[in-house]
Structure 1
Amino acid sequence: MILNWNCADDTIRCLQAVAGGNHVPETIVVDNGSSDDSIEKLDKLDEAFTLLRLDDNLGYAGGMNAGIREAHARGADWVWLLNADAVPRPQALSTLLRHTDRFAVSTSLQTTSSQPEDENPEPYVVAAMLPKGKVRPFRCGGCDEGAHEVDMVTGASLFLRLSSVMQVGLFDERFFHYKEEFDLVRRIADSGDRIGFVCGSEVWHKRGGSLSGSSPRARYYHHRNEVLYVRKHYPHPLRRLVSEPIHYKNVAGSLFRVAVGKRERRRASLAVLAGYWDGVRGVHGPTERF
């Protein structure tokens, strides 16, 4: 399943990579209320896929939920969620499938570079261990073992057992953008299922293609949803937040840049502060403020 939002060229590249793999699944492209020429471009393709059109942008969570419901209605047992700006390598899905008896959720080794054809793209962190709730990144650039049990996975390639998803509930659409994968995977793990990082499966990812991580809106969602996640999963959320020095650093740095920074830096810093403030207040869903 591929989620498209005003990025048909990326979606087409991803779709063609999936179709060129050594295991080709039934594919659904969810258009998340695109306002550009995405539908026209997708309609011209020869590849076999189902186009599911949504009237509005429901965010990552809402768009993927629409596709998951469609896959469930068709009787699928597993669903592979791909960002549009991802390019799975030919053996990516077949390698994930080899571990379905072990993991209810898994992700691929994810790499990035300027182009998917670049030699030696750099891996980045998409898996973690959570000792006492503390996030500790798990790294493996590929090994003979091929897969590792971890506490948490996220990223542009998520492979999910549908029965596990339906048991705990779909993505929480209150997050809208960022942290929704973390939340869903944690709920599945808390139900007793195992989580895997399959380093033998590789997916290239442009990163930030859907919403630039440096934009004020992305900063707002990132910091607000961190707080919303803590509010949802910890019995004493404020105590949890004040125990993490990174939050003091984020707030203090943003206050400083608001006072002395240039216009764009002030705007981005205001978005960080607004994200924290709204997260503490429990504000959720999309924003048009930044």
Structure 2
Amino acid sequence: MRNDVVAVILNWNCADDTIRCLRAVASGSTVPDIVVVDNGSEDDSIEKLERVEEPFSLVRLSSNLGYAGGMNAGIREAHARGAQWVWILNADAVPRTHALSALLEHSDRYAVSASLQTSSERPEDTDAEPYLAAAMLPKGRVEPFICPGCELRSHEVDVVTGAALFIGVAWAMQVGLFDERFFHYKEEFDLVRRIAEAGGRVGLVCSSEVWHQQGGSLAHSSPRAHYYHYRNEILYVRKHYPHPLARIVLGEPIHYKTLSKSVLQMAVGDQDQRTRSIAVLAAYWDGLRGVDGATERF
């Protein structure tokens, strides 16, 4: 048991996933304190969590504060307990047995790190594929960095993201935790960048593996997911670049492609495509205007 590490699992109407993640953490070769933050669930999550036999603490929030607000509650709890490290986990993540042990091997090197993250239909699949959880940022441009595991065991990178981040509590508190204006998506990218700008080193620990059911918390294909994804990309640019409009117009060709595709689908797409396109166009409009926080429009 490591009392200097707190694992924080965020639950929102997904107790079955949360319990699976909790049990994977509790059965690891290194076991931290475990905190589940319930983000204002409206289903039977609390009833299910109260029946769990594995030891953990439950923090109940009265409403859904988004990923950023929910994880901030968990980090504050870790700080109150005097923990040095917080391991923040999506409910739909399943850490492998030695995932935390491998992260701790590099805790003297990195202020924040991420595990090799894989995805497949089921966590027990042996053919799970790695996906993007780290990048380099030469001149601000995102260059993906993926290592499926190698003898080096870790790599220093510019930014990490994804379903499992290992963060020094003091670093998180120093830079001001997650920016809750993002609500959902891009908030971890923003936090890690701020830690790096404050002098913290960032690492991808490819000897640590966490399986993740991508899109489990908010389906990637839903209009709301599209809205948050694209709006928050614009909010991130507004926050981190001195000339955001020039950055959007000249620096990222993906925006032209996205907007062109959305306009085309508005004209010739089916009903689902048109709804998602409306969400994307609204996202760009709101992002440029600086609209943040939660939305109920989609």
TM tier, shorter chain?
over 0.9
1:275 to 254, 258, 283: 283
What are the within-5 Å matches in structure 2 for residues 81-92 of structure 1? Answer: 81-92=88-99
C-alpha distance in structure 1 between counterparts of 2:16 and 2:278, whole Å: 33
C-alpha distance in structure 1 between counterparts of 2:275 and 2:123, whole Å: 33
1:35 to 39, 42, 47: 42
1:260 aligns with 2:275: no
2:123 to 116, 121, 138: 116
1:221 is matched with 228
Q: Which amino acid aligns with 2:280?
A: V
The unaligned stretches of length 5 or more in structure 1 are none
1:51 aligns with 2:31: no
What are the within-5 Å matches in structure 2 for residues 57-72 of structure 1? Answer: 57-72=64-79
Q: Which amino acid aligns with 2:109?
A: R
TM-score normalised per structure 1 = 0.99
Q: Which amino acid aligns with 1:289?
A: R
CA RMSD in angstroms comes to 0.5
C-alpha distance in structure 1 between counterparts of 2:266 and 2:295, whole Å: 20
User: What is the CA distance between 1:178 and its match in structure 2?
Assistant: 0.2
1:207 aligns with 2:214: yes
C-alpha distance in structure 1 between counterparts of 2:20 and 2:275, whole Å: 34
C-alpha distance in structure 1 between counterparts of 2:294 and 2:153, whole Å: 38
User: What is the CA distance between 1:220 and its match in structure 2?
Assistant: 0.3
1:161 is matched with 168
C-alpha distance in structure 1 between counterparts of 2:269 and 2:184, whole Å: 27
1:250 is matched with 258
Deviations 1:261-281 (A, max 9, x none): 111110000000000000000
3-state SS of the aligned residue for 2:18? helix
1:135 is matched with 142
1:238 is matched with 245
User: What is the CA distance between 1:258 and its match in structure 2?
Assistant: 0.8
Deviations 1:207-240 (A, max 9, x none): 1000001100000000000000000000000000
Deviations 1:75-116 (A, max 9, x none): 111000000000000000010001011000000000000000
Q: Which amino acid aligns with 2:275?
A: R
Q: Which amino acid aligns with 1:74?
A: R
C-alpha distance in structure 2 between counterparts of 1:131 and 1:260, whole Å: 38
Q: Which amino acid aligns with 1:43?
A: E
2:297 is matched with 289
1:187 is matched with 194
C-alpha distance in structure 1 between counterparts of 2:146 and 2:110, whole Å: 18
User: What is the CA distance between 1:169 and its match in structure 2?
Assistant: 0.6
User: What is the CA distance between 1:32 and its match in structure 2?
Assistant: 0.3
C-alpha distance in structure 1 between counterparts of 2:131 and 2:259, whole Å: 26
Q: In the comparison of the two structures, how many residue pairs are matched?
A: 290
C-alpha distance in structure 2 between counterparts of 1:94 and 1:173, whole Å: 30
Deviations 1:45-82 (A, max 9, x none): 11100000001000000000011111101111100000
Divergent runs of 4+, >3 A: none
C-alpha distance in structure 1 between counterparts of 2:259 and 2:100, whole Å: 41
Q: Name which of structure 1's ranges 68-77 and 174-183 shifts more when overlaid on structure 2.
A: 68-77
3-state SS of the aligned residue for 1:208? coil
C-alpha distance in structure 2 between counterparts of 1:203 and 1:139, whole Å: 14
User: What is the CA distance between 1:245 and its match in structure 2?
Assistant: 1.2
3-state SS of the aligned residue for 1:26? strand
